Structure 1
Amino acid sequence: MRHLRRMWRDWPCYALLAVVWLLATLRVLVDPTPRLPILFNVTPSLPYWVAIVDYGAHGVARGDYVIFAFRGDAVTHFPGLRGQPFFKRVAGVAGDLVTVREHRVFVNGTDMGMAKRFATVSRLALEPIAATVIPAGYLYMQGLNADSFDSRYRLCGLVAQRDVLAVVRPLF
């Protein structure tokens, strides 16, 4: 009975924990209304918590943070990923050279990180992206977390510019 009274007294703390859990479950909460284009990032994949979302952005440049609809080959293994919004940084644009040396991926000689051999959760075998010159209309996407599922992997691959939903301008 004493525990129930304490829970009743501390209900705002439990409510806050429930909201944090819900946001962590949702991973990224995006408000699509033009009046309030705010993004709240609750994942460790990018270092920003709040950002302005520009849904009408024209042109994407290297270094921009974007939200894109996932259409990579991973949808053959995980159909629920089709169209799922991903939040990443543009690390390569048309004309950039992608090379791979022993599972380490480079864009124009800049190290993009090691491509893991297996997915962390599903244990699915992963292969690094094939060496290529990024064609017109495509982008190389990079997460800032070493465990990010991004263009380092063949199952993610390059992202078509038409799949970019918005450019994100980090606030803090």
Structure 2
Amino acid sequence: MNAEHKSPRGIARLKVSVRDLVRHMHLRWYLYLLLFTIWGLAYVRLFFDATPRVPVLFNWTPSLPYKVALLHSGTSALHRGDFVVFAFAGDGIRRYPGLAGQPFFKIVRGLPGDTVSVAGREVRINGELVGVAKTHAFDRHPLDPIAPGVIPAGRYYVQGMSPDSFDSRYRESGLVRVEQVIGVVDPLF
């Protein structure tokens, strides 16, 4: 008998709380509109269009020491040492499809005409050591270093500052085409 009385009261309480929620939403519609707009934009950003649309970028990865930067959209002539954001389109997409089109924040280390050489896992540009390629990714998938050769016109060698950065040191990332570059970045801090 006790269980029978608890059930209707629980349902009544649920009806009251749903009614209160609807009333609260009606009275404060502007807050819920803002909340649902933010959720909607985040959903679109994650699943449909990863391209940054605002000039302020936030970096949450250890590949670069900067956390906030200003984006200058468009591609002018890139120079060695420029910080760039580009849409990922490397061969790694086959293994990690979620990387397709994701914005990557890296430093231009090699320009068209530069020579990339690989000795063991050491990667050099024009004879200067720029990094050592790791043997495996975080998921133990083997990683191959970039193929040696001359960087062709319209492509760039980009790299993060962390030894764990997924960048042009690896075939799966590769060289970045100029069409992939979203813009040049000025790190703030």
Do Structure 1 and Structure 2 share a fold, with TM-score over 0.5?
yes
Residue 56 of structure 1 aligns with an amino acid whose one-letter code is G
Q: Which runs of 4+ in 1 moved over 4 A?
A: none
Any idea what SS the aligned residue of 1:80 has? Answer: helix
Question: What per-residue deviation string (whole Å, max 9, x for no partner) do you get for residues 14-44 of structure 1?
Answer: xxxxxxxxxxxx9xx98623xxx11122222
| Alignment pair present for 1:155 and 2:172 | yes
1:12-161 equivalent positions in 2, closer than 5 A: 32-33=53-54, 37-119=55-137, 121-161=138-178
Call closer, same or farther: CA 1:30–1:162 in 2, change over 3 Å: closer
- Residues 1:126 and 1:102: Cα distance change in structure 2 (over 3 Å): same
Q: Root-mean-square deviation (CA), in Å?
A: 1.7
Counterpart amino acid of 1:110? Answer: E
Q: How many residues align?
A: 141
SS at match of 1:58: coil
User: What percentage of aligned pairs have identical amino acids?
Assistant: 53
| TM-score (normalised: structure 1) | 0.77
Question: Partner amino acid for 1:162?
Answer: E
Indicate conservation of the 8 Å contact 2:75/2:178, yes or no.
Answer: no
TM-score (norm 2): 0.71
- Return the structure number with greater strand share: 1
Consecutive unaligned residues in structure 2, runs of 5 or more: 1-45
| Rounded Cα–Cα distance in structure 1 between residues aligned with 2:174 and 2:58 | 26
